[in-house]
Amino acid sequence: MKILGFMTGTSLDAVDMAVLETDGEEIQGFGPAGERKLREATRDLLLKTTDIARAWPRGEPEPAIFKEARCAVADEHFHAATSFLDEHGLAWGDFDLLGVHGQTVLHERPTAERVGRTVQLLDAERLAKACGRPVAYDFRTADVAAGGEGAPLAPIYHAARARASGLAAPVAALNIGGVANITLIGADGSLLAFDTGPGNGMIDLMLQARGIARFDQDGKLASVGRVDELALNALLSSPYFDAPVPKSLDRYDFSLAPVDHLSPEDAAATLVAFTAEGVFRAFEQGGEAPSALIVCGGGRHNPAIMKTLADRAPVPVKAAEDYGWRGDSIEAEAFAYLAARTAKDLPISFPGTTGVKTPMTGGRIVQP
């Protein structure tokens, strides 16, 4: 199948797109990949929606703004993909299926007392009608309803991508987005995956709250700042780091209060160290040591993060491109791959990736 995959992260930065040819098991080919920045009106709406979603009491009707946001997300994807297809000489009819993650506005991991709750907004019917192609979406809710974490979902694709690259396991893939997550692929093909801690999200939120910037461009602030050990230890005192794996996070799960008194430079440096320390601790919980750590996602563009990882990680650290991977497009590729698995009724989440009791299928497909 030829599938166009989409991903929009919690950074609310852009719509990522990638073309993948796959049968849901192996990868037959790669088409173009790229991104389109979110339009400001859409971004503002989704920021407001996220704030409302975080305050939404369980058991209450969903906020009215969700409907508006679902339509806006569908329209944003159609707008982004239309220019992407024009740029690459492609047409909607070239695709068997679209795989669309939707926009996460809420993610609450399960506890002993309650199941989790996760919300990815998308009017899939609206998008399917606009582009005339079937749309696979809603990949997380079945897993959460079954007691799983609902995240991460890319691990099964990381394994397929590693096979396509001829990489010998054990190997690890680290995605640094708003939250960082790791996939540990065992020598026997087993998968263990979980969120390690914050990715770029806390740095972004800190800078945005102070009215400085949306993100630390090229890690310039963090590179001249100093790590405040007291603040770092306060951040690391979260019980999340002692919780058993697999486990998942929302980008808002940690407070910025420990760095509130620091300069922007020192706060950025401390939050970089926090991100890296979460990754280091992942190796303590992960068992079998991988031969390499392949870093994907926007965080690999931050030299401060990459340097800290390279200096302290117990395994070689390489950017995705060093292995021929498209580091900015891995998650869009992953949701193209998951769309194929959904179409073929193949499992997309596993005991070692989300904590479900047995491998689970997931996702829904809506026809135009």
Domain 2-150+359-366 falls under CATH 3.30.420.40: yes
Greatest Cα pair distance, the chain, in angstroms, is 57
Two structure tokens written together for 187: 């020598």
What is the full per-residue pLDDT of the chain (368 aa) written as tens digits? 999 999 999 889 999 999 999 999 999 999 999 999 999 999 999 999 999 999 999 999 999 999 999 999 999 999 999 999 999 999 999 999 999 999 999 999 998 899 999 999 999 999 999 999 999 999 999 999 999 999 999 999 999 999 999 998 999 999 999 999 999 999 998 999 999 999 999 999 999 999 999 999 999 999 999 999 999 999 999 999 999 999 999 888 999 999 999 999 999 999 999 999 999 998 888 777 898 999 999 999 999 999 999 988 888 999 999 999 999 999 999 999 999 999 999 999 999 999 999 999 999 999 99
Two structure tokens written together for 59: 């058991």
Residue 69's Cβ-count burial label (10 Å; 0-12, 13-18, 19+) is: buried
- pLDDT at site 250: 87
- pLDDT at site 31: 98
According to CATH, what is the number of the domain 166-323?
Answer: 3.30.420.40
Which residues belong to CATH 3.30.420.40 in the chain? 2-150+359-366, 166-323
Residue 98 β-bridge partners = 4, 135
Residues 187, 169: Cα–Cα separation, whole Å:
5
pTM listed for this prediction: 0.95
Is residue 218 within 8 A of residue 303, CB to CB? The reply is yes
Is residue 342 within 8 A of residue 365, CB to CB? The reply is yes
- pLDDT at site 120: 98
Residues 302, 259: Cα–Cα separation, whole Å:
19
How many C-beta atoms lie closer than 10 Å to residue 348's C-beta? 28
